[in-house]
Amino acid sequence: MAAIEIESLTKWYSRVRGVEDVTFSIERGEVFGYLGPNGSGKTTTIRCLMGLLRPSRGEVRVLGERVAPGRGTQHARIGYLPGDFRIWGRAKARRALGILAALGGDGGSAARRKELAERLELNLDRAVGDLSKGNRQKVALISAFQHRPDVLVLDEPTAGLDPLMRQTALDLIREAAGGGAAVLLSSHDLSEVAAVCSRAAILREGRLVEMAPISQIIQQGEHRLKIWFADGAGVGDVPTAQLPGVRIVERQAGMLHLAYQGTADAILKWVAQFPVDRIATPQTSLEEAFMQYYRSSPSAVVGAGVHKAARGVRA
Amino acid sequence: MSRTSRPPFPFVLLRFWLVRILPAWCGIALLIFLMQIAVSAIVHDNEKVKTLLGFIDMLPSIVKAALGGEMLRVGNTSALIAIGYNHPFVLFLFMLFAVGTPTGLLAGEVQRGTMELILSHPATKTQVYVCAGILTLAGMFALDIVMFLGTVAGVNIFTFKDRVPLDVFFRIAVNGGLLASTFGAFALLCAGTFGKLYTAISVSVAFLVANYFVAILSNWWPRMAFLRPATLFYLVDSSDLWQGWPLRNMGILAVILLVTAGLGAVIWHRRDLPL
């Protein structure tokens, strides 16, 4: 049984589409990346998952239980970090976190809270309203992790953190997943998604356009080829019309940096007519793969494969 | 496999909100208590009563009607003490709590963004609404009891020529509590319905002020007497309270209170909050 199951989730805000026909599931111990630009429907999905919004259609299940809107379904076992974390500003961090822990029925998490505060280097005896944005984000992280949840729903968990603390936050996510927790990680920071997630889904205009292991998503993006020509020889104009799917990333005297989709066969055959010194294949990043989905038209990327993949994972 | 979990009642939230509203409640309660003692201090002395009535006579007749009308005269101690119960300042204090508490707790938490955090913990939306409802209705009722205790204290501190019928004032306080709680329930309905704090406050205040204004107008202007039953104040008629417990009116008020609060609970539960 998957820890999180989302089936044909659709949410309309009056006539505006939030998400449409979103289907995926997350296993225990898995860190699942949820990607998409602003307004693509990530937060809507998360709020439906938390029962904060009533879906127009579809079903969400957490730890085997159907999420009923406004009923706090399995919330004692969920650690939630909202994208815009706001807490009672006048309360000290320790008290605010204590109230949230007690609300979760876990009054005995003080030791865990202390441990997390030490790791994140946060002074719990300051009023939350007096904390910097980064330190407030640490409070948010502690509130999500303090009761050792079985499911973590994290919306931009490292926003505002310095690189050192970002690593600590990613370590916390890895440890939770290592302990068997299912993690839904929504983020704009693709490097952190690539660092901790095994699989990811990409949303575009409320629809799921890709869901695959990170390595596969990266492979599906553009590939890069850097070619240095012998003795700095020039190659004239690149016949892009004869090389479909190829674009020039950078061009210097004696060096050509190309991006291509599919195979490199046509490029290599064209390059073979020039004296080549060396060729390098720079790593494609998740960011480049991600951008790929937003450069192409929606119809080109919305595929039946996404749903097939979603069902395949659950099977 | 599917199993249904029901979160336990969030007493932690109830306690947390209680601590938050307690200073305001104590401040309002203190002012209401002192007001009753001040009224007793004035009305126990006939000379002071004459001065007070002379002052009231100088006010527009509509204001006099609001304070008790023709019942205000030397010797009618009970009616004079009752000034402390329907004085605009006391009603303003009640309104402050009736409107401020539910709107601050529900619409306020939504607007501040903290409601998302509360509802992401094991608490249902209905439980959260019930917490705000308990604090509003119990708080309103408790204020009325404080008002009565103020009268008890005043009557014991100062010497009155005639016996003051405290049982009547207890009836007034209980019925006033019911009326105040009904206004609180309306504010609760507004807090559960409107996303913006100020909209919830504005509609609640408008409802209360309209009721009060129509009640005064219909008592003061005979041609408007037909409007009397249109306000909630009509259900707490002082002439009825003098006689005994107005059970029918109390029942109607209780039904209005429960229906209003229940309607608010349904709307609150069904609607998507503007998180």
pLDDT at residue A315, as a whole number:
27
pLDDT at residue A174, as a whole number:
96
pLDDT at residue B22, as a whole number:
96
Indicate yes or no: CB of A70 within 8 angstroms of CB of B1: no
The least confident of A226-235, B26-35, B94-103 is A226-235
The arithmetic mean of pLDDT across residues A195-212, rounded, is: 90
Cβ-based contacts of B125 with chain A (< 8 Å):
70-71
**Residue-wise pLDDT tens digits, A41-50:** 999 999 999 9
pLDDT at residue B67, as a whole number:
67
- Residue B80 three-state SS: helix
Q: Kindly report the CA angle at B104 between B98 and B109, in degrees rounded to 5?
A: 150
Q: Are A29 and A182 in contact (CB under 8 A)?
A: yes
pLDDT at residue B2, as a whole number:
45
pLDDT at residue B154, as a whole number:
93
For residue B36, what pLDDT band results from cuts at 50, 70 and 90?
very high
Q: Which of A164, A160, A153 is nearest to A139 (CA)?
A: A160
The arithmetic mean of pLDDT across residues A293-298, rounded, is: 60
pLDDT at residue B68, as a whole number:
65
DSSP letter assigned to residue A284 = P
Cβ-Cβ pairs closer than 8 A, A with B, add up to 84
Indicate yes or no: CB of A82 within 8 angstroms of CB of B116: yes
Helix/strand/coil (H/E/C) assignment for every residue in A7-58: EEEEEEECCEEEEEEEEEEECCCCEEEEECCCCCCHHHHHHHHCCCCCCCEE
Tokens of residue B63, six digits: 């204001």
Compare CB distances from A54 to B112, B121, B272 and report the shortest one's residue: B272
Query: Of A138 and A105, which is predicted with more confidence?
Result: A138
Tell me how close the Cα of B116 comes to any Cα of chain A, in angstroms: 7
The Cα–Cα gap between B155 and B152 comes to: 5
Query: Of B103 and A247, which is predicted with more confidence?
Result: B103
**Of the ranges A13-17, A59-63, A292-296, B108-112, the best mean pLDDT one:** A59-63
Indicate yes or no: CB of B120 within 8 angstroms of CB of A54: no
**Of the ranges A281-290, B45-54, B218-227, the best mean pLDDT one:** B218-227
For residue A107, what pLDDT band results from cuts at 50, 70 and 90?
low
pLDDT at residue B236, as a whole number:
84
Tell me how close the Cα of A75 comes to any Cα of chain B, in angstroms: 5
Tokens of residue B231, six digits: 């306000």
Cβ of residue B10 closer than 8 Å to a chain A Cβ: yes
Indicate yes or no: CB of A85 within 8 angstroms of CB of B5: no
Indicate yes or no: CB of B116 within 8 angstroms of CB of A102: no
pLDDT at residue A300, as a whole number:
43
Question: What are the residue boundaries of the structural domains of chain B, listed by start?
Answer: 11-270
Indicate yes or no: CB of A99 within 8 angstroms of CB of B12: yes
**Residue-wise pLDDT tens digits, A111-157:** 899 999 999 999 999 999 999 999 999 999 999 999 999 999 999 99
The least confident of A215-229, B135-149, B160-174 is A215-229
pLDDT at residue A310, as a whole number:
45
Tell me how close the Cα of A113 comes to any Cα of chain B, in angstroms: 17
Cβ-based contacts of A50 with chain B (< 8 Å):
119-120
The answer to ipTM > 0.85 is no
Q: Which amino acid is residue A64, in one-letter code?
A: G
Collect all residues from A whose CB is shorter than 8 A from any CB in B: 1, 47, 50-54, 61, 64-66, 70-76, 78, 80, 82, 84-88, 99-100, 102-105, 143
**Residue-wise pLDDT tens digits, B58-77:** 776 667 666 666 666 666 78
Compare CB distances from A103 to B2, B12, B112 and report the shortest one's residue: B12
B275 pLDDT above the threshold of 70: no
A302 pLDDT above the threshold of 50: no
